Structure 1
């Protein structure tokens, strides 16, 4: 994603391309929710960048969602990468305070590492 210093931006860009390739249709049918990700470099809520993963339309964008997302997540750059790669369990992250959620918990539970494209070998 343009103009971001977050490591997460590269993963979100991969997801954007993945969804645009047609692979997104299955996720849109299966999930159908809009997620807003508030990602901070070091501490939750400090200098955060906002991204939207719209699994109703199959798009990823930078900037706040126009309207009310189904679920909003707040985490640090490193914690988001750990959760999205499956290295950190989202429930454990929530319990440990590394992940905050606003909105529908049932929608939030469908936001799993499975939606992200598997990293290609470099």
Structure 2
């Protein structure tokens, strides 16, 4: 039986989890945001949490390509939204969809790999 954990990926997923909770608490208690910054921050933290959950699963199941695609998507998508919420230039909004596409791609790669893994086990 193979080892089902990827230690580096598990560390990255754990760091992303810590950042997700810490940034969420920071946004809820320390930042005084106006509209639309509140919406940007909320969306960033929500997708950050979704990505972190997926990254944890991927780290445990040694799905590196999918995990790093998802990590890239999360960093771009949530990172740009967090930055805009905290006052960064609004042109970053044009980059956000690239992160969203990377997150979608990570799910597609996971789906494709599930068929490949299934055929190898039969």
| TM-score (normalizing by structure 1) | 0.33
By percentage of residues, which structure has more helix? 2
Question: Which is strand-richer, 1 or 2?
Answer: 1
